[in-house]
Amino acid sequence: MKVDLSTPFGRLRLKNPIGTASGTFGYGLEFAEYLDLAALGAISVKGLSRRPCHGNPPPRICETDAGMLNAIGLQNVGVDAFLADKLPELARLGTTVIANVWGDTEEDYVAVVERIGADRRVAAIEMNVSCPNVVKGGMIFGNNPDALAGLVKRVRAATAHPLIVKLSPNVTDIVASARAAVDSGADALSLINTLVGLAIDLETRTPKIGFTTGGLSGPAIRPVALRMVWEVRKALPKIPLFGMGGIETVEHVVEFLIAGANAVQIGTANFRDPSLAGRLVKELSVWCADHGVARVSDLVGTLKTRPRPDHFFS
Amino acid sequence: MKVDLSTPFGRLRLKNPIGTASGTFGYGLEFAEYLDLAALGAISVKGLSRRPCHGNPPPRICETDAGMLNAIGLQNVGVDAFLADKLPELARLGTTVIANVWGDTEEDYVAVVERIGADRRVAAIEMNVSCPNVVKGGMIFGNNPDALAGLVKRVRAATAHPLIVKLSPNVTDIVASARAAVDSGADALSLINTLVGLAIDLETRTPKIGFTTGGLSGPAIRPVALRMVWEVRKALPKIPLFGMGGIETVEHVVEFLIAGANAVQIGTANFRDPSLAGRLVKELSVWCADHGVARVSDLVGTLKTRPRPDHFFS
Amino acid sequence: MAVNESLRVLRTTHYDEQHYSLFLSAGSIGPATRPGHFAMIQAGEGLRPYLRRAFSIADVTTVAGVPALEFVVKVVGVGTAALARFAEGTPLPVLGPLGVPFPIDDLVPTDRVALVAGGIGLAPLVILARTLAARGIAADLFYGGRNENDILKRPEFERFLGSHRCRYATDDGSLGRRGLVTDLFTHALAGGARYRRAYACGPLPMFRALARLLADAELEGSFAMESEMACGFGVCLGCVVPMADGRFATICKEGPCVAPSRVDWTRL
Amino acid sequence: MAVNESLRVLRTTHYDEQHYSLFLSAGSIGPATRPGHFAMIQAGEGLRPYLRRAFSIADVTTVAGVPALEFVVKVVGVGTAALARFAEGTPLPVLGPLGVPFPIDDLVPTDRVALVAGGIGLAPLVILARTLAARGIAADLFYGGRNENDILKRPEFERFLGSHRCRYATDDGSLGRRGLVTDLFTHALAGGARYRRAYACGPLPMFRALARLLADAELEGSFAMESEMACGFGVCLGCVVPMADGRFATICKEGPCVAPSRVDWTRL
Ligand SMILES: Cc1cc2nc3c(=O)[nH]c(=O)nc-3n(C[C@H](O)[C@H](O)[C@H](O)COP(=O)(O)OP(=O)(O)OC[C@H]3O[C@@H](n4cnc5c(N)ncnc54)[C@H](O)[C@@H]3O)c2cc1C
Ligand SMILES: Cc1cc2nc3c(=O)[nH]c(=O)nc-3n(C[C@H](O)[C@H](O)[C@H](O)COP(=O)(O)OP(=O)(O)OC[C@H]3O[C@@H](n4cnc5c(N)ncnc54)[C@H](O)[C@@H]3O)c2cc1C
Ligand SMILES: Cc1cc2nc3c(=O)[nH]c(=O)nc-3n(C[C@H](O)[C@H](O)[C@H](O)COP(=O)(O)O)c2cc1C
Ligand SMILES: Cc1cc2nc3c(=O)[nH]c(=O)nc-3n(C[C@H](O)[C@H](O)[C@H](O)COP(=O)(O)O)c2cc1C
Ligand code: FES
Ligand code: FES
């Protein structure tokens, strides 16, 4: 059975729904020896800032049960070096490139997307809004719907690229964040970013992460990610969604599609196995064939839920 | 070296900081064959309601990576049956009993604590506020600081028992929840309850949990729980805290104490090993002796953090 | 009175890629075990599987003279796969014996009973068959599977009960009669067989059909039921099934062996 | 050019409860390995450990005629404990060879170099010693540990370098001189020894002290450094150390072998 993996994603049409997540895939080129970059649906590169960023002092990572904490501090080569040194080769290889961007201020975000300008070698822009707003006293843009709306409006006005807003899961109401982003001009959403966590070294009584807290990623967070994708899909039936959070197998990919993601991004699992994302593309068409699914997009949002009972007392 | 495990906890003084978490320890008596109930710091019994509650239709649980999802639906024998059939035996065994209570309305909560009245066999009341407020259209009490404050005030007025409010972690700002509870009369806090998650059966395309979503517990959530304990301890240096979330080993216990918990509650791990909580009491004094800690309470809140750097650009 | 103890792997006997018998040292669980009891086994210290898994105690026997618990396991996922791979001597945490066993103490030697097994549901019927035989109680076995490979422990059953009392059914007809085990049972009833009680273990569809058959024939039954379990001793409330009286009952504590008449099959 | 492949466990040799050599089939990593390279090994499919672990390729050798990679491992946690327990034939995912190896191509037979090992830091120096010996380059080994159990692969080192060139130090004096390996090295320098370059691997305190010694003596060094690693090939940016030029450099990609003069030891 011939399976159609092509994935309509707003103005984009991805080769397939298997993407890779920012910060877990470098600038893509580092993976060229382990998989065929052109065979992936999309890659989201390490978060780019207007100037090169040194990131946080070590220790930056530690393993936790079924996951890891990280506080890299968004170290990156900067948008200019990316455009000059990485993008040409990515384009030559036929990679669908998503530029993940961040800043400490609204101006920083705008500056990055303006540098990218109308460059067609960048398929879309993904805003990492899990950054502290240094102007507003370090409040996380993505954890406050108003701050988020303001930021997205500014960036929306500054770019004609498809604009993907990557939501922070550290919120009471993910749907409110989603609506704020979409109402402010986001073309699509990515969810989820990492959950804020802490791990402690008992002998030194210091955090295992130099920054104190870090972002929790990996299989541990998959149920939370899947729940948020489902909630947002219910509230916004048409918005293109990238789902991510602890995806490691083709079954996990299908779980996210059924919950409502149009496509997924593989994150931490790229560290465990740099060839994984490429293999998942093949395994996905096998899974679809085995299950009589002709078009992978037919899976999206097909979760059947039961009515929720009230508490029943005797 | 003789180690003092006794744990001042507001008006209470616990034998030691090892407690067990509501819903994972039944009514305590079920564990009598696996450990000495009197040797535990405290046990929090299954959430009690004014009337017996049947709970949700199955399936109610499923395993996830390093944890599980549950939507039991708060099935319980009701506060009257608990007081009549369970509490006498618990008291006879010398158990420090915490009555975990819940309701669909403020009145329900008040009704439960009024039934408990001044019963001295109950050491404290723990409010589970992760319940939908059926009057306010199912909004979770614990996810809205105002609703939480209103609820806690009502219950505070209805009981003279030490009042512990158990916070929901599914919020943007756990400190705001903590302040709302404490400012409304809570004597202490328990954190965290479960994170809302989803898991899907691919063959049926239905949620693995009949209720659709379930509460995620187990090692997977430990970093999030530890972070929230630390945040609340920083903001409220004096408030007694029960820390919980994925605790399985004595090292995990010490991690929570260092983060700022005065005591901990063992939850899902009781299912893996019903003798665990009792063993942890012994292992904790060994750990303290090995590390020259004379009083376990000296560990509380001793985390040393480094100053957080700003983003450093070149 | 269940025990939480560490038992060593004595032997693992593989029937095919999907089925095996796991023998653990009997510990103090062995002597306390009655037919229908189950145990919760932790398949290693890792995080996958995370929770213990429930298995019927298929028999209390010996391995090279050492008292042993036998479990007959079908590989369906991570836990049952992991349990198949432990080296001899590996200690595994085991909680048991758990649950309400099959009611057999009220049987008398003149009684005749039926044992109905579907697939891996044979497990609790092995120790039951041996116990009944020892007490001189006649039992007919009705045992069905998808194919021949699903039919396990045939020599034991035929030794305990007599081969003339053992009837098999397979979906593909590779062993015994082609069709469902419930067809076998219906046929027997039609042939005039009468039973004091029918003991059964198998998949839900078999239980449903059998519950109806027994109700119609006004026969007593005892079903060893399954459900996903986190604790196995009545505290997580995760393993419930809807009962005829409107309650949800825990399979681990009020079961696993329950009279089908008490279950609300319409809500299950 | 690293390879991501599945290699089989050929043998595990235990030195004591805490130390062992793990031999894996060499795959296509073997021929590409240079002294100082490392590999990322996944210790099983479970969730604990979750990430791969980094290990120096201690040697490329053969086990019963089969080309093999040797890793010398010290048990410090869940991953190093798990790796010790795999049965012969178990396939393990391995990524390698990774990183910048020791600079040795500029050495000439008249050169004399120093190898400084602290504890488990011996690992990358085994293959280095063998390679130098094969190229006829004289090397003195300075090897320290807490006690004699920490001193591994002594026969190999003495065979490659000549026993007269191997000096040992232990904290308890159970082998060689009582004291630190850096004392040995200082002593040698005081005795007039001169080296084209010092190759070292060991714990951070040893690196700190040695970096100072080399700077004072104006000697070149190459340190095989460690850091917690998630990926091993430069994408997670988790393994960085502060450099003298103010940057954070990834140990997995710009290292593990770096000149101590490039590292900012004050911020490390
Ligand atoms: C009282 C009792 C006695 C049992 N006796 C036996 C026995 O003797 N031999 C045997 O092979 N199996 C027996 N089972 C079933 C056994 O517990 C499950 O097959 C096992 O838990 C599956 O674990 P897993 O990790 O391999 O599968 P998972 O990876 O956890 O799940 C794989 C599939 O198995 C299903 N499943 C998971 N847990 C259970 C469960 N507790 N019951 C039924 N289906 C489940 C899941 O829904 C999923 O579809 C018994 C179950 C109970 C409750
Ligand atoms: C390039 C490189 C080469 C290495 N070569 C060897 C070798 O040849 N032999 C050997 O035994 N070890 C080597 N190590 C160290 C080895 O990677 C760690 O001991 C291992 O990752 C610990 O894993 P664990 O699960 O056993 O310990 P964990 O349970 O993960 O942690 C236990 C302790 O080890 C520390 N630790 C964890 N990861 C590392 C790490 N990557 N480096 C240093 N400390 C760590 C933790 O901080 C903790 O204190 C090397 C490390 C690197 C980066
Ligand atoms: C080491 C590391 C670095 C990350 N850096 C970024 C980043 O720069 N920008 C971003 O939007 N997300 C970043 N993330 C978040 C991931 O893209 C992803 O959203 C998250 O890890 C959840 O997916 P996973 O569980 O599959 O890893 C990072 C994650 C990790 C583990
Ligand atoms: C099966 C189950 C039932 C629970 N029931 C309750 C409850 O009735 N009341 C309550 O406050 N918390 C309940 N909890 C939450 C736990 O008390 C605990 O807060 C949570 O599981 C986190 O701890 P853990 O990871 O150690 O399990 C329940 C948890 C589980 C797994
Ligand atoms: S398995 Fe926990 S109550 Fe039955
Ligand atoms: S370990 Fe990932 S960058 Fe070095």
pLDDT greater than 90 at residue B309: no
Residues with CB under 6 A from ligand 6: D 229-232, 234-239, 250, 252
pLDDT above 90 covers a percentage of chain A that reads 94
∠ Cα D221 D223 D229 (to 5°):
160
In this prediction, residues C134-163 reach a mean pLDDT of 96
Cα–Cα distances in angstroms (integers) from residue B299 to residues B219, B263, B265, in the given order: 22, 11, 16
In this prediction, residues B237-253 reach a mean pLDDT of 98
Residue D217 confidence (pLDDT): 94
Minimum-distance ligand 5 atom for the alpha carbon of C252: 4
Q: Please tell me which of the candidates A34, A66, A68 has its beta carbon nearest to residue D4.
A: A34
Residue C57 confidence (pLDDT): 98
Per the CB < 8 A criterion, the answer to whether C132 and C34 are in contact is no
Residues of chain B in contact with residue D47, where contact means CB-CB under 8 angstroms, are 65-66
pLDDT band at A312 (very low <50, low <70, confident <90, very high): confident
Tens of pLDDT, residues B59-98: 999 999 999 999 999 999 999 999 999 999 999 999 999 9
Two tokens at A216? 């929790």
How far away is chain A from the Cα of B241, in angstroms, using its nearest Cα? 17
Residue D199 confidence (pLDDT): 98
Pocket test for ligand 4, best of B22, B27, B104, B276 (most atoms within 8 A of CB): B22
Q: Does ligand 5 have an atom closer than 6 angstroms to the CB of C225?
A: no
Pocket test for ligand 4, best of B104, B217, B273 (most atoms within 8 A of CB): B217
In this prediction, residues A168-197 reach a mean pLDDT of 98
Atom 30 of ligand 2: nearest residue by CA position: D77
Atom 10 of ligand 4: nearest residue by CA position: B22
Pocket test for ligand 3, best of A18, A20, A24 (most atoms within 8 A of CB): A24
Does an H or E element contain C73, and which?
strand C66-74
Q: Does ligand 2 have an atom closer than 6 angstroms to the CB of D49?
A: yes
Tens of pLDDT, residues A160-181: 999 999 999 999 999 999 999 9
How far away is chain C from the Cα of D46, in angstroms, using its nearest Cα? 6
d(CA A140, CA C225): 51
Cβ neighbours around A282 below 10 Å, total: 14
pLDDT band at A310 (very low <50, low <70, confident <90, very high): confident
Q: What is this structure's pTM? A: 0.97
Q: Do B230 and A198 touch (CB under 8 A)?
A: yes
Kindly give the distance from the C-alpha atom of residue A305 to the centroid of ligand 5, in angstroms, as a whole number.
24
Tens of pLDDT, residues A17-44: 999 999 999 999 999 999 999 999 999 9
Q: Do C47 and A314 touch (CB under 8 A)?
A: no
Residue closest to B186 by CA, chosen among B206, B166, B169: B166
Q: Does ligand 5 have an atom closer than 6 angstroms to the CB of C230?
A: yes
Q: Does ligand 5 have an atom closer than 6 angstroms to the CB of C239?
A: yes
d(CA A105, CA A110): 9
Residue B133 confidence (pLDDT): 73
Residue closest to C163 by CA, chosen among C174, C153, C155: C155
C246 touches chain A (CB under 8 A): yes
pLDDT greater than 80 at residue A133: no
Kindly give the distance from the C-alpha atom of residue C201 to the centroid of ligand 1, in angstroms, as a whole number.
13
pLDDT greater than 90 at residue A262: yes
Residue B136 confidence (pLDDT): 75
Tell the residue number behind the tokens 């029960």, with chain if given. B242
Tens of pLDDT, residues C101-133: 999 999 999 999 999 999 999 999 999 999 999
* Range of weakest confidence among A123-132, A150-159, B94-103, B184-193: A123-132
Tens of pLDDT, residues B23-40: 999 999 999 999 999 999
How far away is chain B from the Cα of A29, in angstroms, using its nearest Cα? 23
Per the CB < 8 A criterion, the answer to whether D100 and D73 are in contact is no
In this prediction, residues B171-198 reach a mean pLDDT of 98
By C-alpha distance, the chain D residue nearest C85 is: D87
Per the CB < 8 A criterion, the answer to whether B63 and A223 are in contact is no
By C-alpha distance, the chain C residue nearest B64 is: C50
Residue C6 confidence (pLDDT): 97
Residue B308 confidence (pLDDT): 84
Cβ neighbours around A112 below 10 Å, total: 28
What is the separation, in whole angstroms, between the first and last Cα of chain A?
53
Residue closest to A215 by CA, chosen among A69, A89, A37, A114: A69
| Beta-bridge mates of residue A163 | A125
How far away is chain B from the Cα of A164, in angstroms, using its nearest Cα? 22
DSSP state of B53: B
Residue C78 confidence (pLDDT): 96
Mention every residue, 6+ apart, whose C-beta is less than 8 A from residue B39. B15, B16, B278, B281
Q: Does ligand 5 have an atom closer than 6 angstroms to the CB of C229?
A: yes
By C-alpha distance, the chain C residue nearest B70 is: C238
Q: Does ligand 2 have an atom closer than 6 angstroms to the CB of D207?
A: no
d(CA A300, CA A17): 10
Mention every residue, 6+ apart, whose C-beta is less than 8 A from residue D236. A23, A24, A61, A70, A72, A271, D229, D230
Residues of chain A in contact with residue C247, where contact means CB-CB under 8 angstroms, are 314
Atom 28 of ligand 4: nearest residue by CA position: B23
Find residues 156-185 of chain D whose CB sits inside 8 Å of chain B: none
Tens of pLDDT, residues B280-289: 999 999 999 9
Residue C235 confidence (pLDDT): 97
d(CA B224, CA B240): 19
Atom 10 of ligand 3: nearest residue by CA position: A22
Mean pLDDT for all residues in chain B: 96
The SS3 of residue B31 is helix
Residue B131 confidence (pLDDT): 80
Catalytic positions of A: 131
Residue D234 confidence (pLDDT): 97
Minimum-distance ligand 4 atom for the alpha carbon of B217: 25
Residues of chain B in contact with residue C246, where contact means CB-CB under 8 angstroms, are 54
| Mean pLDDT, each 10-residue run in order, chain D (268 residues) | 95 97 98 98 94 98 97 97 95 98 96 97 98 97 96 97 96 95 95 96 97 96 98 98 96 98 95
The SS3 of residue C165 is helix
Tell the residue number behind the tokens 């549950």, with chain if given. B70
Residue closest to C197 by CA, chosen among C266, C257, C250: C257
d(CA B145, CA C173): 65
Catalytic positions of B: 131
pLDDT greater than 80 at residue B138: no
pLDDT greater than 80 at residue A137: no
3-state per-residue secondary structure call for chain A: CCCECCEEECCEEECCCEEECCCCCCCCHHHCCCCCHHHCCEEECCCECCCCECCCCCCCEEEECCEEEECCCCCECCHHHHHHHHHHHHHHCCCCEEEEECCCCHHHHHHHHHHHCCCCCCCEEEEECCCEECCCCCEEHHHCHHHHHHHHHHHHHHCCCCEEEECCCCCCCHHHHHHHHHHCCCCEEEECCCEEEECEECCCCEECECCEEEEEECHHHHHHHHHHHHHHHHHCCCCCEEECCCCCCHHHHHHHHHHCCCEEEECCHHHHCCCHHHHHHHHHHHHHHHCCCCEHHHHCCCCCCCCCCCCCEC
Residue C240 confidence (pLDDT): 98
In this prediction, residues A120-148 reach a mean pLDDT of 89
